[in-house]
């Protein structure tokens, strides 16, 4: 193993950071979140430790993982050096975000590998920005873009006019039928427009315009309201196209739907309940004209999104963009969510109709909190579902009720989701006043109560009375009284505190990136090293480096071929010059450039097939463990030397048997032990695996799993294929530039009576309710199961997640997410408030765990059983049929996609039976199952499927809210047409399916080839042509790659109907509703569920 050439020596001397760590701040607790440690905090003068604790070493809390043992005296002034707090919400738009696509001329980041179609994309997406600045201006007219479709319009590609459309599909009636002549279609389209203009709902006096930034709300003479689409205006038509010019901003609330994390598919198809809730939505809207926000409707009632425009965010200047985004966020969770459901449970029959897949995009069921549950009427008082959502939006009062309902109860948390252009940044409390309950350590939140004239506050978890800090009402620095109701922590459910020194055991660590690059023969040969070096070089500027402390190191791992510094002792790796190998990014930039440019050449003639990953990791660990940081491991061959050596253990005979799960478990204990060590030293390991052969993803992904890292897997990678190189380069660059959180611990508190019982995701569980995450990557999701300790006698329960972390700009921060839910005694409320998306996310994690630890069969059975249980209990208790056999399956409307999603999981690579799935692919899919956030996991389980050959002409053009996507279709091969062009995407891959009778015009317009035969199948990049159709498809693909918050870059495959059989089967395996031996089709599956429900076997 040869550590790479070392960078200049000047680095460590001037880098102030943790290498020259000051003595620890006395017996500062490792985790201030912990109730036990609080005593110590409260009595800084006690030097003998927390008095309540026995002094036996056994009984004391463990010393900090990184910090020296807590022995110092408190009087030690801790020379903590922390950069001055960044005031207010000065959040730099993080470079982890994609370069701003909405500004055509924006410089963006250097992304030379970016595909041309993205670079050349016209200004799309977040149309709100433009609207915000010029509310009255006309949106880019979508009609102009594709007026007079050159090829006779999209419909021209449909060759079989007689192709029957499936009458079942509700949405098809809304879609211009594909077989109409273009002329007809346009005519119809115009008629449609006229109709809509006459639609009474949109009469001006009812139209409501959201106040724009910098615009006096009262001056805009209209009330703002959510769009009130009526059933006849749903469907493929985007309402915005028919509005009078001045009404553009009317679109705002809807657009939050589309540009948020759940874009596209449901465009223009509002959830059915939307319209129904119309009257109730408008009533509060009237209140808007009253300037005082206090009169706004209570939290339990629908709070219109537009309100937020009126409320300057507390304590911070009104920021252009921010509030508007806030409005959108609010629109997403409150507006849509709250308006959602009437009081009654609506039961739907499952069999005989195609599943209504649009509802996958629907917001979670309403949280019907009692009136005045929150002390401020802020629309942000409750947590946005993109941060934290519960499987049940009403909590059962007793564990018996929960058991009876058979519904899983848990939280899906994405605490560190990325903030894209158009999202509201997390408000920051920067004055270091952190009010917490002295008993249960809950942070003050919008659901506490002020008592005794506001002198004290009553904790909403444990009902202890606490003093209100004086700085809530009086600012001692400016000597001015302040309004406590303006405090962000009382108005926002998601809030970030800048933590004072009590929350640190050492100065906040800098970002440290340690690359461990495999330079063995397979790695060089597949081009991984060259691609990686180029990408790292180009991404150096995107690595967060606000205060110039970021450090980089590179270790290359092979097997002892002398290069530069050689560590020849593989058994006891040592570091010749520990300080100098890790260099400061800013100071050693030129050296790094030189090294990275030469990296591939240095090893290009290697014939070495050995790889000593274990010793390389140990060296990297020794190097960075005093600081903590990130080890990025790029591995193209199986480690086969010394510690951590792995064998090719893939045995096709085991696949598909009950022994298969042994292949999914770690093969070597080294990786688990090493992961635990890393976790202790705040080191995170990320794995980029490139497998031309078996790469043992199961074992190697152990490291990320327990250190809060991520795994990326590129099967059959070869940089010679530009698509492969592009995907890897994109993901690596995106990953490196993420503004991650460091040295974090996460704790979830809940109201008395509830307990967090199981945790799923990538972290190390350090105590019964404390998760330790050396790194928190953006957009990783964690699922937590909740169990009952006691029955609940309170009207609302609260879940509070606290993430104590160091931001990548070197600040210690606490992110607090508070979710309040009502308690219910009725089974019907419970069913009505069940969130099928969150349930699926939780069940996916549980199934993966079951599959790894026992048998895949068990995991699949458990999923089906859960479905049967839920359907059975629902039938018995909620429908008239009760015990008898029924001809149909019934379930409440908000759970109607459970069977489909369950079937999707059963058919997914992660859980599907059979002996065809290599364990690497399965392991990777399992990894994604347990880490993907809901908005990626749902398409991963149930891909989106579009017909492109006959999509309405506005699809793929830029509307006011970004690129318009076609209608998603049901995943059934019935939809495939011989002359069609279909797209299917599962958030990891995009497939373009070309029917064998595709007309030459289509081939020419899209691929630039004369006929179907000349289309090349497989992994590909779509050419950029001048044709309208090609541009639209490119836009749709571009949008698909962008629209979910995730570093993953879906790869495009072209599937020809008579092409490569393996590819075709792979594509067809995504069609969940089809029969795929030996797994049933959707209708068979429903039949199976029905039989079991009728037999009472639940």
Does position 659 interact with other proteins (CB under 8 A)? The reply is no
CB of 654 to other proteins, least distance (A): 17
**94 versus 668: smaller Cβ distance to other proteins:** 668
DSSP-assigned letter for residue 758: E
Is 439 a binder of other proteins (CB under 8 A)?
Answer: no
Q: Which of 992, 997, 1066, 1059 is nearest to 1030 (CA)?
A: 992
Q: Is 1020 in the site for other proteins (CB under 8 A)?
A: no
Nearer to other proteins, 53 or 348 (CB): 53
Stretch that binds other proteins, among 54-62, 117-125, 534-542, 1023-1031 (CB under 8 A): 54-62
Closest contact distance (angstroms) between CB of 160 and other proteins is: 55
- Nearest distance in Å: CB 497, other proteins: 23
Select from 139-147, 165-173, 289-297, 763-771 the region that touches other proteins (CB under 8 A).
763-771
1061 makes contact with other proteins (CB under 8 A): no
Shorter beta-carbon distance to other proteins: residue 372 or 673: 673
CB of 665 to other proteins, least distance (A): 10
The backbone torsions φ and ψ at residue 397, rounded to the nearest 5 degrees and listed phi first, read -75, -30
CA 479 vs CA 470, 473, 475: distances in Å: 12, 11, 5
Which one of 334-342, 674-682, 961-969, 984-992 is the stretch in contact with other proteins (CB under 8 A)? 674-682
- What backbone torsions phi and psi does residue 817 show, to the nearest 5 degrees? -120, 120
- Which candidate, 1002, 1098, 1097, places its Cα nearest to that of 150? 1002
Name the residue nearer to other proteins (CB basis): 54 or 164: 54
Which one of 21, 41, 44, 53 is in contact with other proteins (CB under 8 A)? Answer: 53
Which has the closest alpha carbon to 412: 1092, 1061, 981, 935?
A: 935
Per CB under 8 A, the list member of 9, 141, 564, 765 interacting with other proteins is 765
Q: According to the binding rule CB under 8 A, does residue 675 interact with other proteins?
A: yes
Contact residue for other proteins among 21, 36, 43, 439 (CB under 8 A): 36
| Contact flags string 766-805 toward other proteins, x per CB under 8 A | xxx-x-----------------------------------
Q: Which is nearer to other proteins, 57 or 107 (CB)?
A: 57
CB neighbourhood size of 600 (10 A): 18
Find the shortest distance in angstroms from Cβ 702 to other proteins: 8
**Nearer Cβ to other proteins, position 34 or 531?**
34
Beta carbons within 8 Å of 84's beta carbon, 6+ residues apart: none
User: Shortest gap between Cβ of 47 and other proteins (angstroms)?
Assistant: 20
Q: Which is nearer to other proteins, 286 or 669 (CB)?
A: 669
Query: Which span (4-12, 403-411, 672-680, 923-931) binds other proteins, by CB under 8 A?
Result: 672-680
Taking contact as CB under 8 A, which single stretch among the options 67-75, 79-87, 141-149, 756-764 is the one that binds other proteins?
A: 756-764
Residue 1014 CB, nearest approach to other proteins (Å)? 53
Q: What is the DSSP string of 761-818?
A: SSSEEEETTEEEEEEE-TT--EEEEEEESS---SSEEEEEEEEEEEETTS-EEEEEEE
User: Which of residues 59 and 203 has its CB atom nearest to other proteins in the complex?
Assistant: 59
Contact 408, 843 (CB under 8 A): yes
Which of 43, 61, 855, 1064 is close enough to bind other proteins by CB under 8 A? 61
Query: Mind spelling out the 3-state secondary structure of 597-660?
Result: HHHHHHHCCCCCCCCCHHHHHHHHHHHHCCCCEEEEEEECCCCCCCCCCCCCCCCCCCCCCCCH
Nearer to other proteins, 771 or 1035 (CB): 771
Between the two ends of the chain, the Cα-to-Cα distance in Å is 57
Which of 39, 46, 60, 298: binder of other proteins (CB under 8 A)?
60
Copy the structure tokens of residue 1093: 């429900």
Residue 565: which of 613, 606, 532, 602 has the closest Cα?
Answer: 602
* Sign of the torsion formed by the C-alpha atoms of 850, 854, 859 and 862: negative
Distance separating alpha carbons of residues 448 and 170, to the nearest angstrom: 45
Q: How far is the CB of 342 from other proteins (least distance, A)?
A: 41
Q: In the complex, what is the shortest distance from the CB of residue 686 to other proteins, in angstroms, rounded to a whole number?
A: 17
| Stretch touching other proteins by CB under 8 A, among 60-68, 162-170, 194-202, 1087-1095 | 60-68
Q: Which residues of 460-485 are buried (b: 16+ CB within 10 A; e: fewer)?
A: bbeeeebebbebbeeeeeeeeeeebb
Coil, strand, or helix at residue 755?
strand
Least distance to other proteins from the beta carbon of 59, Å? 5
Q: Tell the smallest beta-carbon distance from residue 767 to other proteins (Å).
A: 5
62 scored as a contact of other proteins (CB under 8 A): yes
Per rule CB under 8 A, is residue 58 in the interface with other proteins?
A: yes
Q: What is the DSSP string of 245-287?
A: GGGGGGGHHHHHHHHSSS-GGGTT---THHHHTHHHHHHHHHG
Q: Is 59 in the site for other proteins (CB under 8 A)?
A: yes
Residues that bind other proteins (rule: CB under 8 A) add up to a total of 23
Q: Rounded distance, CA 663 to CA 640, Å?
A: 18
Q: Does 68 bind other proteins (CB under 8 A)?
A: no
> Closest separation between CB of residue 667 and other proteins, Å?
11
What does DSSP assign to residue 577? S
Smallest gap from Cβ 134 to other proteins, in A, equals: 55
Work out which of 92, 218, 318, 676 binds other proteins, going by CB under 8 A: 676
922 forms beta bridges with none
| Cis before 1078? omega within 30 | yes
Sign of the torsion angle spanned by Cα atoms 650, 656, 657, 662:
positive
39 sits near other proteins (criterion: CB under 8 A): no
| 34 contacts other proteins (rule: CB under 8 A) | yes
CB atoms within 10 A of CB 116: 12
Which residues are CB-neighbours of 83 under 8 A, at least 6 positions away? 547, 809, 810, 811
Count the neighbouring beta carbons within 10 Å of the beta carbon of residue 130: 17
Token pair belonging to 535: 């990408």
What token pair was written down for 1062?
A: 């393996």
**In angstroms, what is the minimal distance from the CB of 807 to other proteins?**
25
Separation CA 783–CA 781 (nearest Å) = 7
Single out the residue of 21, 404, 449, 672 in contact with other proteins (rule: CB under 8 A): 672
Helix (H) or strand (E) holding 194: helix 182-198
Judged by CB under 8 A, which of 706, 924, 1007, 1012 binds other proteins?
706
Q: Which of 111, 301, 488, 680 binds other proteins (CB under 8 A)?
A: 680
Choices 40-48, 52-60, 619-627, 804-812; region in contact with other proteins by CB under 8 A: 52-60
Q: Which residues contact 332 (CB under 8 A, 6 or more apart)?
A: 256, 257, 260, 305, 363, 384, 385, 386
Write each residue from 527 to 556 as x if it is in contact with other proteins (CB under 8 A), else as -, in one continuous string.
------------------------------
Positions in the binding site for other proteins (CB under 8 A): 34, 36, 53, 58-62, 669, 672, 675-676, 679-680, 706, 758-759, 764-768, 770
């Amino acid at each position: 193993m040869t550590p790479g050439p070392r960078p200049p020596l000047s680095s460590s001397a001037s880098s102030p950071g943790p290498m020259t760590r000051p003595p620890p701040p006395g017996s500062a607790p490792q985790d201030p979140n912990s109730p036990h440690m609080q005593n110590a905090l409260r009595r800084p003068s006690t030097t003998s430790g927390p008095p309540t604790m026995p002094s036996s070493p056994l009984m004391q809390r463990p010393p900090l993982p990184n910090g020296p043992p807590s022995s110092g005296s408190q009087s030690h002034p801790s020379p903590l050096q922390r950069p001055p707090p960044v005031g207010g919400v000065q959040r730099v738009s993080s470079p982890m975000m994609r370069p701003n696509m909405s500004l055509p001329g924006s410089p963006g980041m250097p992304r030379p590998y970016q595909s041309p179609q993205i670079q050349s994309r016209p200004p799309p997406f977040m149309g709100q920005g433009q609207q915000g600045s010029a509310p009255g201006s006309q949106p880019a007219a979508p009609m102009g873009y594709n007026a007079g479709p050159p090829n006779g319009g999209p419909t021209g590609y449909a060759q079989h006019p007689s192709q029957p459309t499936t009458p079942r599909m509700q949405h098809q009636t809304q879609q211009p039928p594909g077989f109409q002549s273009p002329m007809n279609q346009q005519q119809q389209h115009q008629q449609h427009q006229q109709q809509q203009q006459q639609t009474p709902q949109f009469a001006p006096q009812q139209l409501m315009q959201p106040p724009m930034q910098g615009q006096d709300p009262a001056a805009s003479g209209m009330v703002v309201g959510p769009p009130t689409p009526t059933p006849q205006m749903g469907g493929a038509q985007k309402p915005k196209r028919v509005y009078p010019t001045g009404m553009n901003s009317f679109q705002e609330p809807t657009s939050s739907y589309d540009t948020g994390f759940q874009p596209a598919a449901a465009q223009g198809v509002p959830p059915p309940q939307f319209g129904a809730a119309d009257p109730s939505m408008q009533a509060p809207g009237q209140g808007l004209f009253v300037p005082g926000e206090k009169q706004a409707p209570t939290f339990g009632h629908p709070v219109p999104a537009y309100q937020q425009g009126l409320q300057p965010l507390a304590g911070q200047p009104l920021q252009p963009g921010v509030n508007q985004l806030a409005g959108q966020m609010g629109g997403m969770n409150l507006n849509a969510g709250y308006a959602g459901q009437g009081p009654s449970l609506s039961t739907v029959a499952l069999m005989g109709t195609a599943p209504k897949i649009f509802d996958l995009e629907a917001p979670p069921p309403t949280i019907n909190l009692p009136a005045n549950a929150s002390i401020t009427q802020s629309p942000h008082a409750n947590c946005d579902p993109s941060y934290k959502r519960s499987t049940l939006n009403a909590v059962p009062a007793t564990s018996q009720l929960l058991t009876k309902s058979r519904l899983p109860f848990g939280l899906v948390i994405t605490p560190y989701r990325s903030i894209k252009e158009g999202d509201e940044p997390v408000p920051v409390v920067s004055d270091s006043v952190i009010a917490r309950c002295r008993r249960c350590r809950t942070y003050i939140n919008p659901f506490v109560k002020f008592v005794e004239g506001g002198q004290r506050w009553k904790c909403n978890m444990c009902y202890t009375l606490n003093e209100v800090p004086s700085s809530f009402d009086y600012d001692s620095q400016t000597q001015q009284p302040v309004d406590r109701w303006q405090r962000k922590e009382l108005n926002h459910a998601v809030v970030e505190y800048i933590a004072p020194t009590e929350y640190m055991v050492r100065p906040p660590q800098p970002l440290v990136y340690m690359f461990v690059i495999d330079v063995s023969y397979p790695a060089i040969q597949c081009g991984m090293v060259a691609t990686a070096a180029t990408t790292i070089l180009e991404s150096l500027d995107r690595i967060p480096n606000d205060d110039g402390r970021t450090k980089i190191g590179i270790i290359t791992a092979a097997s002892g071929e002398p290069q530069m510094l050689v560590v020849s002792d593989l058994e006891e790796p040592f570091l010749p010059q520990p300080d100098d190998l890790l260099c400061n990014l800013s100071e050693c930039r030129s050296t790094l450039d030189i090294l990275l440019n030469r990296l591939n050449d240095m090893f290009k003639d290697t014939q070495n097939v050995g790889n000593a990953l274990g010793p390389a990791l140990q060296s990297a660990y020794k190097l960075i463990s005093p600081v903590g940081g990130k080890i990025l491991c790029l591995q193209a061959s199986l480690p086969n030397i010394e510690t951590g050596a792995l064998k090719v253990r893939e045995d096709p005979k085991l696949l598909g048997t009950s022994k298969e799960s042994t292949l999914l478990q770690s093969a070597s204990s080294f990786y688990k032990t090493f992961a635990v060590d890393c976790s202790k030293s705040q080191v995170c390991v990320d794995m980029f695996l490139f497998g031309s052969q078996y790469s043992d993803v199961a074992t190697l992904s152990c490291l990320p799993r327990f250190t809060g890292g991520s795994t990326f897997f590129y099967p059959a990678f070869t940089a010679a294929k530009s698509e492969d190189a592009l995907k890897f380069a994109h993901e690596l660059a995106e990953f490196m530039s993420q503004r991650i959180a460091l040295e974090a611990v996460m704790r979830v508190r809940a109201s008395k009576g509830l307990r967090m019982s199981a945790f799923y995701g990538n972290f190390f569980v350090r105590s019964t309710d404390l998760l330790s995450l050396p790194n928190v990557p953006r957009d990783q999701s964690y699922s937590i199961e909740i169990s009952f300790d006691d029955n609940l006698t309170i009207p609302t329960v609260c879940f509070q997640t606290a993430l104590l972390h160091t931001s990548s700009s070197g600040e210690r921060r606490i992110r607090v997410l508070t979710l309040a839910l009502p308690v219910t005694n009725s089974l019907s409320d419970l069913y009505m408030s069940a969130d099928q998306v969150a349930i699926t996310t939780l069940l996916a994690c549980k199934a993966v765990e079951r599959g790894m630890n026992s048998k895949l069969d068990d995991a699949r059975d458990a999923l089906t059983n859960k479905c049967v249980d839920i359907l059975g209990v629902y039938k018995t208790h909620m429908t008239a049929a009760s015990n008898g056999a029924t001809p149909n399956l019934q379930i409440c409307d908000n759970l109607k996609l459970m069977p489909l999603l369950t079937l999707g999981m059963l058919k997914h690579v992660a859980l599907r039976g059979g002996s065809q799935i290599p364990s690497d692919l399965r392991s990777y899919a399992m990894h994604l199952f347990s880490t993907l956030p809901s908005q990626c996991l749902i398409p991963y389980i149930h891909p989106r499927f579009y017909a492109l050959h006959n999509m309405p002409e506005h699809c793929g053009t830029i509307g006011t809210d970004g690129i318009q996507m076609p209608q998603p279709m049901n995943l059934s091969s019935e939809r495939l047409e011989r002359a069609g062009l279909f797209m299917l995407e599962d958030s990891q891959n995009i497939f373009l399916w070309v029917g064998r009778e595709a007309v030459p015009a289509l081939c020419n317009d899209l691929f630039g080839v004369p006929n179907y035969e000349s289309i090349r199948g497989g992994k590909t990049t779509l050419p950029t042509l001048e044709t309208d159709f090609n541009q639209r498809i490119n836009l749709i693909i571009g949008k698909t790659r962008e629209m979910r918050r995730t570093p993953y870059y879906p790869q495009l495959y072209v599937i020809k109907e008579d092409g490569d059989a393996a590819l075709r089967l792979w594509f067809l395996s995504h069609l969940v509703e089809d029969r795929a031996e030996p797994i049933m089709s959707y209708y068979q599956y429903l039949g199976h569920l029905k039989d079991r429900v009728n037999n009472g076997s639940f």
